[in-house]
Chain A
Amino acid sequence: MEPSKGRTEVNFIKVGLIFLFIALVFGVVGALQYVIPGLFRSNFSFEKVRPLHVSSAVFWILITSCGVVLHYQRKVMGQIWSNKLIKWQLFFFLAAMISILSSYILGIFGGREYWEFPPFLAIPFGIAWILFTINVFKSVLVYRKQPVYIWMWLTGAVFFLITFLESYLWLIPPFRTNIVNDMTIQWKSYGSMVGGWNMLIYGTSIYLMDKISGTKHYSYSKIAFWLYFLGLFNLMFNWGHHIYTLPIPKFIQYISYLVSMTELLLLGRIIYYWRTTVNAAARHFHILPFRFLFAADIWIFLTLILAIAMSIPSINAYTHGTHITVGHTMGATIGINTFLLLAYVTDIFNIHNPKGVRIITIFLYITMLDLFIFWISLIIAGIIKADWQMHYPEDAFSLMMYSLKPYFMSFFISGTLMATSFTVIIWAIFRYSNIHSVKDNKG
């Protein structure tokens, strides 16, 4: 047994935490530019700050997801097919991610929303993901009778790759001549891509819950597989809510609307099992990773209600293009993805030092409160913008933005406090990690 300190997948997580910190810094700068319009206009304007923030947050989610999946898969399977491939994957990821952030700082773009970097930089990123997919598949020794999280990891790896490639179809001229159809394929790929990384993250949460509860009943159960197929169904077909208001064929709206409503089953299940969840929380709350899992559970509930409402086209007509959409994205990426990933990180980094646990717990509570204020500020700002775009579109945009100023201020203050709390959590994870004591199976 060798200590996992040198394991490359742990380095994925360390790099991921650094990207989280970078995302927080640029998030604060971006929020400040909402409060003080025109700040850094000539040298570091919002068209640089926004992609720096968004891409760093996406890199945190992706590189950390890969790291935790490889780490836990090594535990489940006893080995990872190729350690060399993991190192190459990290190399390609870092090459792509550092080049991408540098290109933004230099003001070199050329891509589209969320992937604003010059398209050739997608090549090392794609290679890294192909290596990950090969490793995840090859490490599964027997495909029969695998738990649901293995299915989710494999599905997530493949669907992310497919949709990532699909998001670059615009490089082929026939795909981009019709603007509306081009946007349809763009948002089809983005919607499913998020579903792809969620498969990796949610799959890992099932593994971790098994580990905490000490049983494997759930991950082999019928209900776990039905919920997995429901998630897959939504990943494939519910992306249409991004483009309801575009002049698209009606069937896209109907399919997406119907498919999205199946998420009511998930909402119903959460409400039905709420008492069980609270009981489990009481039982396991002494375990630090569980506290993050429980925090994510609360945000899954809040975000799902908002997501289902936004999937109804006539409600979407109000929320589309407003800060309510941003609120939904923040709830999903911070409240769900980041809290879940931090649950895995605190588990893998084996934090048991009482002082470390106390600091992380206190700042988790502060983060939760700040995130809630941040989320509500965005929703209120979104409601005001929705009222403007539906009822007073002839009024000046600048006047509407001026009326949002108090909510931007609240969003900036709560966002800055949240960023500070996350920074303390990141520091505490590095400071109190007990990585030497983590032994893993020989790979």
Chain B
Amino acid sequence: MIDRFKVSIFLTLTVLFICYTFYLYHINYKTQTHADLMADKGKHIWQDLNCSACHQVYGLGGYLGPDLTNVCSRLTNQQISSKIHTGTNIMPSYNLSEEETLQLIAYLKSLNASGIASPSKLKLNIDGTIER
């Protein structure tokens, strides 16, 4: 295989990759939601506590605890707050202030509003694709 041919293939793939990448960035920019400061701060708390070590969001994250994408559909704010402050026999308790707890709950609510995580709700097609 001559070098010029190799370089052509490499450049073609690279250009396609760049176009695809920037198209995804463009979609991200176009669909950015109105900045919810509470939820954004809650997301930082989620990361500061490393909740994803044990919990999943849309099936991505740890495996020790349940997926929390739609936890706000299952539990009330009071129940979530209680779990955070008292922990469980596996999860440690977290000494968050009232404001931090509300911010974390705001983040969980924004997750809940983004979609349904349960794979049982997906429609499986014969060609191997899936639909919501």
Contact = CB atoms under 8 A, between A and B. Distances in A.
Contact of B90 (A41, A249, A254): A41
Contacts of A166: 21
B27 interface: yes
B24 A237 contact: no
Interface in A330-366: none
B124 A253 contact: no
Given A179-B111, A242-B60, A317-B119, A247 B132 contact: yes
B28 A184 contact: yes
A313 B119 CA distance: 11
A283 to B, nearest CB: 28
B130 A188 contact: no
Contacts of A315: 128
A317 B50 contact: no
Contact of B13 (A232, A314, A320, A397): A232
A426 interface: no
A329 to B, nearest CB: 11
A317 B122 contact: yes
Nearest to A54: B53
Contacts, number: 171
Interface centre among B43, B53, B91, B128 (most CB of A within 10 A): B53
B54 interface: yes
Given A245-B130, A320-B119, A181 B58 contact: no
A250 B125 CA distance: 13
A69 to B, nearest CB: 19
A177 B38 CA distance: 12
A26 B117 CA distance: 30
A151 B119 contact: no
Interface stretch (A132-140, A203-211, A286-294, A385-393): A385-393
Given A46-B53, A111-B47, A314-B128, A321 B31 contact: no
A236 interface: yes
Contact of A184 (B13, B24, B52, B87): B24
B129 interface: yes
Interface stretch (A6-14, A32-40, A73-81, A87-95): A32-40
A179 B89 contact: no
A179 B114 contact: yes
Interface string B29-57: 10111111000100110011111111011
B32 A178 contact: yes
A236 to B, nearest CB: 4
B129 A254 contact: yes
A38 B16 CA distance: 48
Contact of A245 (B21, B34, B87, B119): B119
A116 B46 CA distance: 11
B89 A38 contact: yes
Contact of A51 (B21, B27, B53): B53
Given A37-B89, A46-B53, A176 B40 contact: yes
Interface string B1-12: 101001001100
A47 B90 contact: no
Interface of B: 1, 3, 6, 9-10, 13, 16-17, 20-21, 24-25, 27-29, 31-36, 40, 43-44, 47-54, 56-67, 87, 89-92, 110-111, 114-115, 117-120, 122, 124-125, 128-130, 132
Given A51-B53, A326-B63, 12 more contacts: A38-B89, A38-B90, A48-B53, A111-B47, A151-B6, A174-B29, A177-B35, A245-B59, A249-B27, A257-B128, A389-B120, A390-B120
